[in-house]
């Protein structure tokens, strides 16, 4: 005899827990608690998890092969409808899980009611969310690699172009533009590496943990782990259903990517100004003014700088969400998806935009070269020349500082000082030795340490990155 079906009770619309209650939730409560508008983004992961769970239930003798076939056929049909945009999600069914399960039961009857055997929505949503994050990480990593390749390609074409490097937003030392571009490849590499490191902790299957304590029904967690592509299974059911550390870590990775992109956007916003004039951003990534006809505003980069704030806010939201929760699953965790989804979409789109901006940006070499004629950026190289000629570092620093002061007073660059002016401060060292260090090109050529902006070092960096990225 089949037990009474809670769906037949007109007083309660929710088949997940209706038997315990005399009536359904108030209409306002149903609206307030519904999450399907957000978590329907997990539909593919939910169906994949259900397919793996059903196959395991059959292998363990909990459902028959015919029931498995009906469940599989039904879930695949539902997936096709969702993908086509014809499936109707109902807010009264709370979430994506109950929408799919209810649709399955409506199609195939009792076999659909068996699907949730040895499973809770607690371990179900934890599984779906981890699967989603794994796929999001893979997508982000591929996008970052594409961005790195563009930067490496641009570095190869700007291998000998010299630009001012800034500290405290003051001209500091001359560097190769290729070196500057490769610095960003390094930053993106750390982003890529962090995501992969996070991925190891995400790739743990909570499926089979049920609500909080596991299940007394015979299941095979290794089977579902393998089917879903997780690296391992969780060791503790109570922790597995409540853990959202992986979500926080993932959004932290996104926030730091957002910070990097904001900093890069700021550099190029500055460089595109009339005051700098180092770059011209392609028209596709600029907008005009409603009142000033001459304006070319780098709005996409400004938006990128602004959108990083949203991603940082998403991280803050998750941390505050978790900070006061008691052990085990709590409904508060329903609120983890909106900030996580938004942070992911924001960063993914930002990465795509910056890739195209980088591909099309024009480096204005003549203006960059003009900028090298002020700022005494060869001062440090001159100081190191003195050091190599046995002048103590602090003495050499003072000597070059004196020469800079002389140059400022006479309106000259260091390379324009007379032999007498050079000798007056740097006594005992031939002026031709000193002049060999002066000028941006000579200063850049002098750099020889590993990882420096010297051409030999940059060429090694370029070759390493080409080989590394070609293997990905």
Out of 23, 33, 218, 289, pick the active-site residue: 289
**Alpha carbons 301 and 312: distance in angstroms, whole number:** 17
**Alpha carbons 336 and 315: distance in angstroms, whole number:** 10
Contact 359, 151 (CB under 8 A): no
Residue 334 CB neighbour total at 10 angstroms: 17
Residues 6+ apart with CB under 8 A from 242: 122, 325, 327, 328, 329, 330, 333
**Alpha carbons 37 and 337: distance in angstroms, whole number:** 11
**Alpha carbons 320 and 328: distance in angstroms, whole number:** 17
Contact 224, 297 (CB under 8 A): no
Name the residue with tokens 């002048």. 391
Active site includes 179?
A: no
Active site includes 53?
A: no
DSSP string, 101-146: HHHHHHHHSHHHHTTTTT--HHHHHHHHHHHHHHHHHHHHHHHHHH
Instruction: Report, in angstroms and rounded to the nearest whole number, the Rg of the chain calculated over CA atoms.
Output: 31
**Alpha carbons 96 and 92: distance in angstroms, whole number:** 11
Out of 168, 216, 448, 449, pick the active-site residue: 168
Output DSSP code: residue 65. H
Q: Is 411 helix (H, G, I), strand (E, B) or coil?
A: coil
Distances (CA, A) of 400 to 50, 73, 379, 406, 419: 72, 80, 7, 10, 14
Instruction: Count CA atoms within 13 Å of residue 470 on its CB side.
Output: 7
Rounded to 5 degrees, φ, ψ at 163 are -135, 160
- What residues are labeled active site? 168, 289
């Amino acid at each position: 005899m089949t037990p009474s079906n809670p769906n037949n009770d007109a007083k309660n619309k929710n088949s997940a827990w209706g038997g315990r209650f005399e009536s359904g939730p108030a209409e306002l409560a149903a609206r307030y608690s519904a999450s399907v508008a957000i978590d329907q983004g997990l539909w593919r992961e939910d169906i994949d998890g259900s397919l793996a769970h059903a196959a395991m239930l059959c292998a363990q003798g909990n459902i028959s092969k015919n029931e498995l076939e009906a469940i599989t056929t039904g879930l695949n049909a539902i997936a096709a409808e969702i993908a086509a945009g014809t499936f109707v999600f109902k807010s009264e069914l709370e979430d994506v899980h109950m929408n799919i399960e209810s649709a399955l039961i409506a199609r195939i009857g009792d076999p659909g009611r068996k699907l949730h055997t040895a499973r809770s929505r607690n371990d179900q949503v934890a599984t779906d969310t981890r699967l989603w994050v794994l796929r999001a990480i893979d997508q982000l990593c591929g996008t970052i690699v594409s961005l790195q390749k563009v930067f490496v390609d641009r570095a190869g074409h700007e291998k000998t172009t010299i630009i001012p490097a800034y500290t405290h937003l003051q001209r500091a030392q001359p560097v190769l533009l290729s070196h500057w571009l490769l610095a960003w490849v390094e930053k993106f590499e750390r982003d890529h590496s962090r995501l992969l490191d996070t991925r190891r902790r995400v790739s743990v299957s909570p499926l089979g943990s049920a609500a909080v304590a596991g299940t007394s029904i015979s299941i095979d967690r290794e089977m579902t782990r393998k089917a879903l592509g997780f690296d391992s299974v969780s060791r503790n059911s109570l922790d597995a259903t409540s853990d959202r550390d992986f979500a926080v870590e993932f959004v932290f990775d996104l926030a730091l990517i957002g910070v990097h992109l904001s900093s890069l956007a700021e550099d190029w916003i500055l460089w595109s100004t009339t005051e700098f004039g180092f770059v011209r951003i392609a028209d596709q990534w600029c907008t005009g003014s409603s009142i000033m006809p001459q304006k070319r505003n780098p709005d996409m980069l400004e938006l990128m700088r602004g959108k990083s704030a949203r991603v940082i806010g998403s991280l803050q939201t998750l941390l505050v969400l978790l900070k006061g929760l008691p052990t085990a699953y709590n409904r508060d965790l329903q609120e983890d998806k909106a900030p996580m989804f938004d942070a992911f979409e924001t960063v993914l789109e930002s990465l795509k935009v910056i890739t195209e901006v980088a591909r099309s940006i024009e480096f204005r070499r003549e203006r960059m070269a003009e900028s090298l004629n002020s700022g005494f950026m060869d001062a440090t190289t001159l100081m190191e020349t003195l050091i190599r000629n046995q002048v103590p570092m602090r003495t050499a620093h003072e000597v070059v500082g004196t020469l800079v002061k002389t140059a400022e007073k006479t309106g000259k660059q260091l390379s324009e000082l007379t032999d007498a002016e050079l000798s007056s401060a740097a006594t005992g060292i031939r002026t031709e030795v000193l002049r060999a260090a002066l000028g941006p090109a000579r200063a850049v050529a002098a750099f020889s340490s590993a990882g420096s902006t010297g051409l030999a070092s940059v060429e090694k960096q370029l070759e390493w990155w080409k080989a590394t990225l070609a293997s990905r």
